[in-house]
Amino acid sequence: YKAAMSTLSNDDKQEVGRWANNRVENSHLPFRRRERAMLRFRQMKGLQKFASVHANVYNHFSRARHLIDRKTYKTARSAALA
């Protein structure tokens, strides 16, 4: 608030503008994506069961494709599928 900032003499540190809050909102996007996916489950038990299985499978098959070359990626993918 402008009055509180002027009382504290922090007028120059206050970010005011059209897109000032955008950085804060974008930092919450991953959380909101998970939260939206959880809304589909009616009971917590079903969500917990799905999340435990999904985490294991995702960690097993998900590779950092942008960090490794194609040959290594294909070898790791074949091993995971086997």
The torsion of the CA quartet 63, 68, 74, 78, rounded to 10 degrees, works out to -40
Measured in whole angstroms, the distance separating CA 72 from the mean position of its chain's CA atoms is 27
For residues 73 and 63, is the Cβ–Cβ distance under 8 A? yes
Which pLDDT value is given to residue 19?
Answer: 67
pLDDT in tens, the chain (82 residues): 778 878 888 777 766 676 666 766 667 677 777 777 778 888 888 888 888 888 777 777 776 777 888 898 888 888 877 8
Which pLDDT value is given to residue 12?
Answer: 73
Task: Specify the pTM.
Answer: 0.35
Apex CA 41: angle with CA 38 and CA 46, to 5°? 110
- How far is 70 from 68, CA to CA, in rounded Å? 7
Which pLDDT value is given to residue 53?
Answer: 84
